[in-house]
Amino acid sequence: MKNDNMAAYLFHQGTNFTSYRYLGCHEQAVESGYLYTFRTWAPSADAVFVVGDFFGWDSPIPMQRITDRGVFECTVHSESSLQGSCYKYSIVRGGVARLKGDPYAVCSKGMDDGASIIYSSSYEFSDASYLEYRSKTVGVHADAYLPAPINIYEVHLGSFLRHEDGSYYSYRELAHVLVPYVKYMGYTHVELMPITEHPYDGSWGYQVGAFYAPTSRFGEPDDLRFLIDCFHRAGIGVIFDFVPAHFPKDAWGLYEFDGGPLYEYQGADRMESASWGTRFFDLGREEVQSFLISAALYYCREFHVDGLRVDAVASMLYLDYDRAPGQWIPNSNGGRENLEAIAFIKKMNQAVLGEFPDVLMIAEESTDFDGVTHPVSMGGLGFSMKWNMGWANDFYAYLAMDPVYRRYHHKALTFPLMYAFHSNYILPISHDEVVHGKASLIGKMHGAYEDKFLQLRAALLLQMTYPGKKMLFMGTEFAQFREWDFDHSLEWFMLDHERHRQTRDYVRALNALYLSTPALWELDFSQDGFCWLLPDEADKNLVAYERVSLNGERVRAVISFSGSVQEIYLPLETDCVPKELFCTWQGGDHAISYVTADGYLLRLPPFGGILLRHEEKEIIFKHKEK
């Protein structure tokens, strides 16, 4: 009881970051069978009952208010295990009873029903070696932050692959299909779009109904643990999408949980998103803080996830987000920043990274808010990295242009380097940019069919060689033309066509190059890792630059987005020769036309890109001797 009192106290203080061990349903084996303790938070309720299929849905079990701030509790005895049984809370206020799923349920039916399921995990992970590797690579090493390759494959589990009848692959089936594919392609991480239980497929998982329950669409929670374990045994990290900004208004969910606003803001100026039709979390409320931060830590502790990508951070940071003038109230300083949300984000990142310093906290943040990836101790929000959405938007617009006009928009290639080291960036080619009429990545390219494939290769080489960690959305690697459709499988039949198969092979080779070239990832977040060679070749639609490793190794990237052949002269260090490491075109044609004592001439085909390294002549000679 003493421990329960402390758990309740910390929950109401907003500092119980294991609140899922206190609230929800918990099983205890006793001599006469099993005891099940149910607890929920409903401060404005007149009465709360548990109903379920273990005693009949029409036989409510009353719960007692055990804290002044609204925690209710009851204990149910059963001679046999209730594992797999369904239950809900009947919450009565003003004479009206509402059936609600358990906010802390670790398993849920979801969809339109939303019934919570009594569930205890029996899974034992076997990923100790990967977690040890993670602890050695994530963080500050050799005076550089994250000097490790991070190349993420973003996946929506419901549409990566489906059975012929349209049914989903289960978590365990995906372990035998998705894991080897990601490994074969050479990615370091997989990022799973939200797999928490959600009612509406069309939300892609971003309108979460049960924050602690992996969706039952693909199996049980331990099946998801198995999938993560398989990724880890293959040496692949797993990042979850986490959505602490908002939740849907489905009747069984968090919406007006105790008969009125509880998890959501109460004032109309903050309560609801007009565009999404969802409710914003009241991030200043202590119990909500315990709920959300515990959820983030729950997946780190109980599922061994390696990172959380926090969705829609901008919607939390600003009071005027998605609101017209007059629809929002300034903060106490007269500004537009949501001070409570900023404090919450710092608190969340400190809690997660304090316990798991080798977990990645990634912000999807689309504004110029200062210090998103700076430590909280230095006044920042404390995220590990953030998506560089500005780079993505500018680059896509550039690729859509006729090459004739790209010379007038050359800053799309150069401007991102003006701010590339102000934050720790991921360069995302994400799901958001290949839906709703935006076209797939290859579909964005200007020009004829053949030219689209050439430009895609050049675009991916630029992404892989610019400063910042990498992310590619599923299907992009084999140049799927159709926009992503959450309700159908990727068009894997495209691999029967040579151009698409060659593109997949190209991406695999590019990933292998990335992994084997420290200059492309050791100093991603430092100006020391990048140097312009030719930033101003706007008339040639061309850029040239160097990437530098911790030990001073340099590789040069030269990439043309011109539809014609381009020649460019580059200087050469004394007693060195240029070596071609990688190029975008096929065949044996070499880009280096001739070499002098001072430099060399490159001849690039239309939309051609190349990566080079300068090697000492003596080393080359010794290699030939062998």
| Catalytic residue numbers, as ranges | 311, 364
How far is Cα 54 from Cα 558, in angstroms, rounded to an integer?
67
Residue 366 CA to residue 370 CA, distance in Å, equals 12
One-letter amino acid at 244 equals P
The helix or strand, by DSSP H or E, that contains position 8, with its residue range, turns out to be helix 2-13
* Alpha-carbon gap, residue 162 to 43, rounded angstroms: 44
What SS3 state is found at 226? helix
Number of H helices, E strands in the chain: 17, 32
CB-CB neighbours of 262 under 10 Å: 23
Q: How many CB atoms lie within 10 A of CB 46?
A: 14
Alpha carbon distance 143, 126 (integer Å): 32
CA distance 358 to 239: 12
H helix intervals, 245-399 = 286-302, 313-317, 339-355, 389-399
Paired tokens of 328: 């929002």
- Compute the CA torsion angle 544, 545, 547, 553 (nearest 10 deg): 90
Going across the sheet that includes 272-273, the strands are: 246-247, 278-280, 272-273
The residue written with tokens 């001439």 in the block is 601
